[in-house]
Structure 1
Amino acid sequence: MTGQHIFIITAASIIFNVYAIKVPADFKFGVATAAYQVEGGWNASGKGENIWDRLTHTHPELIADHSTGDIACDSYHKWKEDIDILKTVGVEFYRFSISWSRIMPTGFTNKINPDGIKYYNDIIDELLKNNIEPMVTIFHWDLPQPIQDLGGWTNPQISVYFEDYARVVFENFGDRVKKWITINEPSSICEDTYGKGNNAPNILSPGIGDYLCGKTILLCHARTYHLYKNEFGRQQRGKIGITIDSIWAEPKTNQSADISASVREMQMGTGWWMHPILSKEGDYPAIMKSRINEISKAENFSESRLVPLYKHEIKYIRGTADFLGLNHYHTWLVSDNKYPITDPTSFNKDKGTKLERDPKWKNPLITPWGIRKLINWVKDEYDNPLIYITENGYQDDGCLDDKDRVLFYKGYISEVIQAATTDKCNVKGYTAWSIMDNMEWRSGYTIKFGLYHVDFSSPNRTRTPKSSAKFYQYVIKNRNIPNDK
């Protein structure tokens, strides 16, 4: 049950009232990290090289502060301290990822690293000892370099190697891990990497490589799901899903062109991944297939640049999720944008949309109403699947009295709870990104998302709680979102 709203949200303002929102008894709170961003120990104890090791070492100019994740938060050595922090905050689960290169240095099954296996076993055992549930992401962007050398995600054979990797993971950790995420943010892997060249391995193949990557990702996920269900699920009795990142696309105006553009943005940006897995019919969204096919022909391609899913693949992928992990950070105003056919090939051109912020928004990074609309969109589009918010967070400069982050969490957690209670969406958990400041990919250490400050100038990587950590601790302990904390 829930009390009256702690606030009323509009696109322009946040207004608090005197009532706190109560958290349902079956709703859980956690925090998240990713291996490359926090572990460090980049070549410790037999770990192999991954694509972020290679990129940061060979092209430091591509990282905002020319930094690396070689040490990062040094969680490879400080994992016990980190679990103590989790216990202090009071989280009910911890979402972390396994480094493929740490347990399989070559990327293949010919060499299994016992020190890597022990590292994750120790973490899992210590979490359970402290009554914290492990939620494990099998892949969070750090592809082994030898796998990338074969073409990375544009090579469909990677789905076979990924299944081999997943089997090692299930064999070694599945007796204790009951929530698995196959892959984190396929759009970030495919569109941001191959479409825009923003992430490792810094490949730019817009409108072609991103779609090749997308099909491989979907097949990797499906193979892993079926592997777990066929060989491990009955004995290990866990659940397995995928984490998809999504914006909320708000029409810029009430004009039909902008409304249609916002629909396209959601269908092509988010439905690209959700539709094949969660819809009853499977396959890519119809609007995605038709637009890319038509634009490809107009560009003089002999066939659609969107590599098709064949009937047996559609059937194989459809329904392969016990739950949906949902990452959300941004809401955008979306309008129709007609690209000239002579413009370079790209996913943005295929969508035909323009994204911008509303100048009326006081802080464009704090638009909590967007996450509630997104959750309801998933409910309506895909028959109300089980959802865990697996990432949601606020970036700043790392200040300890992070009042904006507290405001962010008040707003977003409240909207998620309202989606669960008032709107009857099947959302059962919220994960703050992140428990501590870390290596934020190509932004390096220039932006901070942590509930805990990390002193990266100190050899000890000292962790210090921020105001947001104390706020989150209060919410978890008291099971409500107050208006005075």
Structure 2
Amino acid sequence: MYLFILFCVLFLGPHLVFSETFPEYFKFAVSTSAYQVEGAWNLSGKGPSVWDWYTHTYPEKIADGSNGDIACDSYNKYEEDISFLQDLGVDYYRMSISWPRIFPSGYFNEINLEGVEYYLNLFKLLKAAGIEPLVTLYHWDLPLVYHNMGGWTNPLLADWFGEYARRCYELFGSYVKYWITLNEPQTTCTNAYSYGTFAPGYSLNGVATYICAYVHLLAHAKAYHIYHDEFYAEQQGKVSIVLVTYWGEPNNSSSEADVAAAKNFLQFSMGLLAHPIFIGNWPQVVIDEVDQKSELQGYTRSRLPKFTDEQVAYIKGTADFFGLNYYSTYMISDNTNAAEILYPPSYGTDIKITLGLNSSWPNSASSWLYNVPWGLRKLINWVSNQYNKPEIIITENGYSDDGSSIDDAGRIHYLNGHMCEVLRAISDDGCNVTGYTQWTMMDNFEWNAGYTERFGLIHVDFGSDNRTRTPKSFYEWFKNVVKTNTINCTGF
């Protein structure tokens, strides 16, 4: 028998297919967000959100002029959606609550019981199906009233968000054991307040960027402490935040300048939000660069808001796990010339880098999304090493198609490679990754791309009144991975 095994390894090895197994504790999930799937934008007592206002006021800023008024109509079709989740066999369903659906005015003197009932029914059905809800309190659909008062540049929003979180814990805490306070503050602060590509479409680059991050961190910490001070003893749940970045790979690994630039990129992108939570205060390189640049630009104080000692202590440690989103990688080159660019102030020139791509990387239907699986493994290791080996849950990872076919071989290739890298980060590198979430369960409204980019494992016919759902080829592939807890990593 020994000789037979040796023969197989030496002579047949390259032709054998080996499946690799995830740990028994590992959990699988799929994800959505309220604005992107629910629809019913002005029905059953729901109030307007900033995305309702933005898509209706500026349809030209959406690739196909569309909006989320109906989206996937999950408000009316949630039972069908849960049947798909049950068929997939996933352990978790990552979803979000629409703040204006349960508090139409944004304030808390008016509660929409129809909205509350919708989420309670959804949670009850998930529990009955053996699926744990992983619930995001805020996935970008801010009540319009708060946008009109400055949105995420108004520090008072931290208090209002804390009160919203408290009400959600009261209403839904008996069903929800995993809470995410905020989804991707980095994306909100850059796309929505710096570059003007997401609602509310502000271009306040290099100023609102940091104010927005500051307010998000205060809001997150408040929601975290409210749960642990008032609800944890009874509900015994976990609370965290979801953060995102591209992996930054030095364009020239032999160049000390490029290596340093890649490190700076990660501190400005991921570290901007993660460092205050997991270590305390802003990353030092961010403080140094923005303070110095602000002085050269003639500001009387830094564009980077300063935390008080009390705020540093209040924010530090406010995560029960690390929610990590990853999609793609950039090649990073040093751009010291950016230091000479003083006007207008810019988040990009603060970092002093140039972003690049590798022409060999396969592309998706999204111009920014390339298939670079090793970037995820490197990012997992970076997070693990930077932040004292936290429990990591991959809360989003996905691939886009153009919606023309349900035969999505590109998605299978992308996600097979990425999931294998997650497994290697666990088995080979010793990282504490406990779950993987595919974005997204079904095609939906993809923000400024509208319906031109599709991330779903289920195709949705947005031209039909029924919003007909049809599983893509990836659906059965993913279902088998979940069922067997194994994946074929040969060739990946």
Q: Quick one: which of 450, 460, 471 aligns to 1:454? A: 460
Alignment CA distance shift 1:223-1:450 (3 Å) = same
Which amino acid is 1:238 matched to?
G
Q: Percent identity?
A: 46
Please show how residues 9-28 of structure 1 align to structure 2 within 5 Å. Answer: 18-28=17-27
Tell me, in whole angstroms, the C-alpha distance in 2 between the residues paired with 1:167 and 1:243: 19
SS at match of 1:270: helix
What residue is the counterpart of 2:114 in the other structure?
115
- Contact in 2 for aligned 1:17/1:483 (Cα 8 Å): no
Equivalent position amino acid for 1:414 in 2: C
1:261 alignment counterpart: 261
Single out whichever of 353-362 and 46-55 deviates more from structure 2. Answer: 353-362
Distance 1:376 1:441, change over 3 A: same
Instruction: Please say if 1:374 is aligned against 2:372.
Output: no
Matched, 1:85 2:84: yes
CA distance in 2, matches of 1:250, 1:277: 24
Match of residue 358 from structure 2: 358
Structure 1 residue 362: Cα displacement: 4.0
TM-superposed CA distance for 1:170, in Å, is: 0.3
- What is the CA–CA distance in structure 1 between the aligned matches of 2:485 and 2:478, rounded to whole Å? 10
- Among 294, 298, 323, the alignment partner of 2:292 is 294
**Does 2:432 correspond to 1:432?**
no
How many Å apart are 1:18 and its aligned residue?
2.1
Deviation at 1:484, TM superposition (A): 8.9
Q: Is the 8 A contact 1:35 1:96 kept in 2?
A: yes
1:281-430 alignment, distance < 5 Å: 282-337=280-335, 338-339=337-338, 340-363=340-363, 365-398=370-403, 399-430=405-436
Please state how far the C-alpha of 1:342 moved relative to its aligned partner: 3.5
Alignment partner, residue 8 of structure 1: none
Q: AA paired with 1:328?
A: Y
Superposition pairs of residues 143-222 of structure 1, within 5 angstroms: 143-222=142-221
Q: CA deviation at 1:482?
A: 2.4
How many aligned positions are there? 469
Please tell me whether the aligned partners of residues 246 and 327 of structure 1 are also in contact (alpha carbons under 8 angstroms).
Answer: yes
d(CA) in 2 for partners of 1:267 and 1:214?
Answer: 13
SS at match of 1:242: strand
Q: Distance in 1 between the 2:26 and 2:427 partners?
A: 10
454-463 or 475-484, larger mean C-alpha shift: 475-484
**Does the aligned pair in 2 maintain the 1:16–1:483 contact within 8 Å?**
no
Normalised TM-score (structure 2): 0.94
Q: Match of 1:463?
A: 469
Instruction: Spell out structure 1 runs of 4+ moving beyond 3 A.
Output: none
Deviation at 1:17, TM superposition (A): 6.5
1-structure distance, mates of 2:109, 2:485: 48
Q: Distance between the aligned counterparts of 1:123 and 1:463, measured in 2? A: 19
Q: Aligned with 1:446: secondary structure?
A: coil
SS of 1:413's equivalent? Answer: helix
Contact 1:194–1:210 (CA<8 Å) still a contact in 2?
Answer: yes
Paired residue type of 2:474: S
In structure 2, distance between residues paired with 1:81 and 1:480: 27
Q: How many angstroms does 1:19 deviate by?
A: 1.4
**Contact 1:335/1:354, CA 8 A, preserved across alignment:** yes
Q: Tell me what 2:449 maps to.
A: 443
Q: How big is the alpha-carbon RMSD for the aligned residues of Structure 1 and Structure 2?
A: 1.3
**Structure 1 counterpart of 2:374, one-letter code:** W
Q: Which amino acid aligns with 1:447?
A: E
Asked whether the 8 Å contact 1:195–1:207 carries over to 2, the reply is yes
Deviation at 1:264, TM superposition (A): 0.1
Aligned partners of 1:160 and 1:207: how far apart in 2?
24
Q: Quick one: which amino acid aligns to residue 341 of structure 1?
A: I
Quote the Cα distance in structure 2 between the aligned partners of 1:213 and 1:162. Answer: 14
Q: Does residue 67 of structure 1 match 2:61?
A: no
Q: Return the offset for 1:218.
A: 0.0
Q: Is the 8 A contact 1:158 1:220 kept in 2?
A: yes
1:106 corresponding residue in structure 2: 105
Residues 206-232 of structure 1 show CA distances to partners (whole Å, capped at 9, x for unaligned) of: 111111111100000000000000000
